[in-house]
């Protein structure tokens, strides 16, 4: 993507930022509307509000009845969706270029004219709580929530995006609507258009649809910095199941930190090269045949699967290793083998051959995950919400510039035992314990209960 021309950038008088990228390979256009609001912007007592608001913004607007939302895009053979994560909330439509005006109309309506009918809010509360409880029935997802919560003491990245159950049960329609009106303003948004379009015409249509949107006073994102972790923390989740899972989470650099891309290379060597597209990267398994942890754990018959996750974020987040234990493997043996490889990476770094292979694989993933107008538009908007679109455009060059010594330095800083939170999902038989399950967390020296 670094060889492509930079997108055309424009601003409306109300502060809306517009990015338009021409891609004329097919008569398609993709529109993404991004808001700088996610679970990091939620205070205790309001966790999950950003995700719930996202759900409500599919329930119709002043000029789009709920039952018509889907049909507007589907009549053009297009697709639509949206999601919320820690730094952002976004909505998208991809369809033929003839549908551009309709896509812009939908997003302008969503920005300014959400209905938030009390009955709809109450109905969606049931849906979201069911979604949360369904996630808790997934051992890996439940373990990830517990590990993240234990890893963060001060920064709201420790809250699950879906929220905590007690907060969801107490939240009201006024809480939702107040959050919507606070953050869904043009000066807190970026509109991205990628496809077979003329930039001048596209910007003119954006001005037509969004020009009347009223700017607001966006809350300043001043958050508590996460203090340095001074010792290993541990979490154990015990619940009905058949398989044991291990997660090891290290505090990791933000996307703009000088250690981020060296750690991306380190992860490629440890667990296989992955892309940086939250929308599409994880749909294609990474190449793992030569990955160190795969060889040690999977080929060593200690685990049936291993993966790593390092995502670009606005603030320092986590580098997480996830392992599915083979039946009969002891916790001690699996940890010993995994930590030996992680410690070796921190101590010795990587070889010249590993560096070259990781660079090549990462660049290939970049090409694959930018193979459509939808993916390109996602990446432009995603990076704009965490840093800038320029960072996305420079990814290829940044990967090429990673040197062996920088990988070793970054790994030594990140992969320290005192910087990690270790979590285990320990399955119990259906009749072997509390049906609700239990979780405990604490430093290695002494476990304490979590409510």
Segment 287-303, tens digit of pLDDT: 999 999 999 999 999 99
Segment 135-165, tens digit of pLDDT: 989 999 999 999 999 999 999 999 999 999 9
Segment 206-265, tens digit of pLDDT: 999 999 999 999 988 888 999 999 999 999 999 999 999 999 999 999 999 999 999 999
Which pLDDT score is estimated for 442? Answer: 43
Average pLDDT value over all residues in the chain: 93
> Among candidates 200, 172, 209, 314, which has minimal Cα distance to 252?
314
Q: Which residues, listed in sequence order, are joined to residue 95 by a DSSP beta bridge?
A: 29
Segment 385-408, tens digit of pLDDT: 999 999 999 999 999 999 999 999
- Give the pair of three-digit tokens for residue 3: 């060889």
Segment 99-113, tens digit of pLDDT: 999 999 999 999 999
- Give the pair of three-digit tokens for residue 32: 């993404």
Rounded Cα distance, 74 and 199, in Å: 24
Q: Which residue has 């009969």 as its token pair?
A: 328
Given a cut of 60, whether residue 194 has pLDDT beyond it is: yes
21-25 — which CB contacts under 8 Å span 24+ positions?
Answer: 21/192, 21/193, 21/194, 21/195, 21/376, 21/377, 21/380, 22/195, 22/196, 22/197, 22/198, 22/199, 23/194, 23/195, 23/196, 23/373, 23/376, 24/196, 25/196
Which pLDDT score is estimated for 451? Answer: 24
Which pLDDT score is estimated for 223? Answer: 87
Which pLDDT score is estimated for 438? Answer: 53
Segment 305-340, tens digit of pLDDT: 999 999 999 999 999 999 999 999 999 999 999 999
Rounded Cα distance, 141 and 136, in Å: 7
Domains belonging to the chain, first-starting first, are 8-210 (3.30.830.10), 233-449 (3.30.830.10)
Segment 10-30, tens digit of pLDDT: 999 999 999 999 999 999 999
Segment 405-447, tens digit of pLDDT: 999 999 999 999 999 999 999 999 887 554 445 554 443 333 2
Segment 60-79, tens digit of pLDDT: 999 999 888 788 888 888 99
Half-sphere exposure in the Cβ direction for 351 (13 Å, CA): 6
Which pLDDT score is estimated for 436? Answer: 47
Which pLDDT score is estimated for 1? Answer: 47
Which pLDDT score is estimated for 67? Answer: 84
Burial of 351 (0-12, 13-18, 19+ CB in 10 A): exposed
């Amino acid at each position: 993507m670094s060889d492509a021309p930079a997108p055309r950038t424009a601003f409306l008088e109300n502060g809306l930022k517009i990015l338009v990228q021409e891609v004329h390979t097919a008569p398609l256009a993709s529109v993404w509307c991004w808001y700088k609001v996610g679970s990091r912007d939620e205070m205790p007592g309001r966790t999950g509000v950003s995700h719930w608001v996202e759900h409500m913004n599919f329930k119709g607007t002043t000029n789009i009845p709920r039952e018509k939302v889907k049909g507007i895009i589907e009549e053009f053979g297009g697709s639509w969706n949206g999601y919320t994560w820690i730094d952002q909330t976004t909505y998208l439509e991809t369809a033929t270029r003839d549908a551009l005006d309709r896509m812009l109309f939908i997003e302008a309506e969503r920005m300014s004219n959400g209905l938030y009918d009390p009955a709809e809010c109450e109905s969606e509360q049931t849906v979201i709580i069911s979604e949360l409880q369904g996630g808790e029935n997934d051992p890996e997802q439940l373990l990830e929530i517990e590990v993240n919560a234990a890893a963060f003491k001060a920064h709201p990245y420790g809250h699950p995006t879906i929220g905590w159950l007690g907060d969801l049960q107490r939240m009201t329609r006024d809480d939702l609507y107040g959050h919507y009106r606070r953050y869904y303003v043009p000066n807190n948004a970026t509109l991205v258009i990628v496809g077979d379009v003329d930039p001048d015409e596209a910007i003119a249509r954006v001005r037509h649809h969004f020009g009347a949107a009223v700017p607001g006073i966006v809350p300043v994102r001043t958050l508590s910095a996460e203090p340095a972790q001074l010792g290993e923390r541990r979490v154990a989740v015990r619940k009905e199941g058949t398989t044991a899972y291990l997660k090891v989470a290290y505090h990791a650099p933000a996307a703009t930190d000088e250690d981020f891309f060296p750690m991306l290379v380190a992860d490629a060597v440890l667990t296989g090269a992955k892309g940086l597209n939250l929308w599409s990267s994880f749909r294609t398994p990474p190449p793992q045949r030569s990955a160190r942890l795969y060889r040690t754990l999977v080929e060593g018959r200690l685990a049936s699967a291993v993966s790593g996750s390092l995502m670009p974020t606005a603030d320092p987040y986590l580098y997480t290793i996830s392992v599915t234990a083979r039946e009969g493997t002891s916790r001690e043996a699996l940890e010993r083998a995994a930590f030996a490889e992680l410690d070796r990476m921190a101590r010795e770094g990587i070889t010249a051959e590993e560096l070259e292979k990781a660079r090549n694989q990462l660049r290939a993933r970049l090409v694959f995950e930018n193979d459509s107008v939808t993916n390109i538009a996602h990446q432009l908007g995603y990076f704009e919400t965490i840093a800038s679109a320029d960072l996305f455009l420079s990814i290829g060059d940044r990967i090429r510039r990673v040197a062996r010594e920088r990988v070793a330095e970054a790994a030594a800083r990140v992969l320290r035992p005192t910087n990690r939170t270790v979590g285990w999902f320990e399955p119990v038989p259906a009749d072997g314990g509390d049906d609700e399950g239990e979780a405990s967390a604490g430093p290695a020296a002494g476990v304490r209960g979590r409510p």
